[in-house]
């Protein structure tokens, strides 16, 4: 972590919690997190689409400092695309962030680099900040190709993205073998790839972009392993799956793994 960038802890709820459960979880987080916590780090939740309106009403009504976003968006802005949700709709719901290219979308919905690039562009068209997810599967890691593979995903996703847009992107390095498996990457393993992502951003754009972009680690992050991850120079926060459904653990993660704020 560098003091130049505000850390971001984002909870990807995946397909969990209905809108009533969403309200209860956000209320619990809001009750525990203090202004000091929000001054130190940005805390975001990424609920299912059906929860977003309820979360918006709660956040606006109680003037909460928690921000929120969606887990996916359409490459299209409107039209005959049954079942899709546009960036315009998410913007209207007050979303700050939207995931693009989560490994579960790539794996179960056949999203390739070109589609992920189109989703990143769609997010920018509606002033949403993309959280671009990249990361290798186990065979690539075992063959030693993890840095090259992840950097090539980054290259493809940023195709046509302009300097000022790139400056605001969030990149999440999520090695597929560490997602939901309890198998967390060592802080050094995570740093190796996150550092390479930052070097690549400087090559693709310039130092200005490389210094500004927040790079998160994701994959079995818990309160107990956050401090080691956050001690790495190129890791600026975490994208949290399972542990983000547990308010006490997500608060601990948001406090860099410390118990109290």
Ligand X SMILES: O=C(CO)COP(=O)(O)O
Q: Pick the closer one to ligand X by CB: 191 or 220.
A: 220
Does the annotation flag 242 for ligand binding? yes
Q: Pick the closer one to ligand X by CB: 73 or 88.
A: 73
Please give the residues from 189 up to 218 whose contact with ligand X meets the rule CB under 6 A: 218
Catalytic (active site) residue 19: no
Helix (H) and strand (E) counts for the chain? 13, 8
Helix (H, G, I), strand (E, B) or coil at 174: coil
CA distance 20 to 30: 15
CA distance 124 to 127: 5
Q: Pick the closer one to ligand X by CB: 179 or 196.
A: 179
**Contact status: 87 vs ligand X (CB under 6 A):** no
Which uninterrupted H or E stretch holds 157? helix 146-157
- Identified binder of ligand X from the candidate list 242, 247, 253, 254, rule CB under 6 A: 242
Residue nearest to ligand X (CB): 241
Please give the residues from 213 up to 232 whose contact with ligand X meets the rule CB under 6 A: 218-221
Q: Are 77 and 122 in contact (CB under 8 A)?
A: yes
Catalytic (active site) residue 174: yes
Q: Are 256 and 232 in contact (CB under 8 A)?
A: no
Q: Which of 84, 111, 174, 192 is catalytic?
A: 174
**Contact status: 240 vs ligand X (CB under 6 A):** yes
CA distance 66 to 49: 17
Does the annotation flag 177 for ligand binding? no
Q: Are 37 and 247 in contact (CB under 8 A)?
A: no
The pattern of x and - marking residues 99 through 138 that bind ligand X according to CB under 6 A reads ---x------------------------------------
Helix (H, G, I), strand (E, B) or coil at 112: coil
Tell me which residues touch ligand X (CB under 6 A). 12, 102, 174, 179-180, 218-221, 239-243
Q: Which residues are annotated as a binding site for substrate?
A: 12-14, 180, 220, 241-242
Q: So which residues are the catalytic ones?
A: 102, 174
């Amino acid at each position: 972590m560098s003091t130049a960038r505000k850390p971001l802890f984002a909870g990807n709820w995946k397909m969990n919690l209905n809108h009533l459960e969403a309200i209860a979880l956000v209320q619990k987080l809001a009750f525990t997190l203090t202004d000091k916590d929000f001054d130190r780090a940005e805390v975001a939740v990424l609920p299912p689409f059906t929860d977003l309106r309820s979360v918006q009403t709660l956040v606006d009504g109680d003037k909460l400092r928690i921000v929120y976003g969606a887990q996916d968006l359409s490459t299209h802005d409107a039209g005959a695309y049954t079942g899709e949700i546009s960036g315009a709709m998410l913007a209207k719901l007050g979303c700050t962030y939207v995931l693009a290219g989560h490994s579960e979308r790539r794996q179960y919905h056949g999203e390739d680099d070109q589609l992920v690039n189109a989703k990143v562009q769609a997010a920018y068209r509606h002033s949403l900040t993309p959280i671009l997810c990249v990361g290798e599967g186990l065979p690539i890691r075992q063959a030693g190709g993890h840095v090259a593979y992840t950097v090539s995903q980054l290259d493809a996703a940023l195709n046509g993205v302009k300097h000022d847009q790139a400056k605001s992107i969030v990149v999440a390095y999520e090695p597929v073998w560490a997602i939901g498996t309890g198998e967390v990457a060592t802080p050094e393993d995570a740093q190796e790839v996150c550092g390479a992502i930052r070097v690549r951003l400087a090559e693709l754009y310039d130092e200005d972009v490389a210094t500004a972009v927040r790079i998160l680690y994701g994959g079995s992050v818990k309160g107990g392993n956050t401090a080691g991850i956050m001690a790495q120079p190129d890791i600026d926060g975490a994208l949290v799956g399972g542990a983000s459904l547990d308010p006490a653990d997500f608060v601990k993660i948001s406090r860099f793994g410390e118990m109290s704020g």
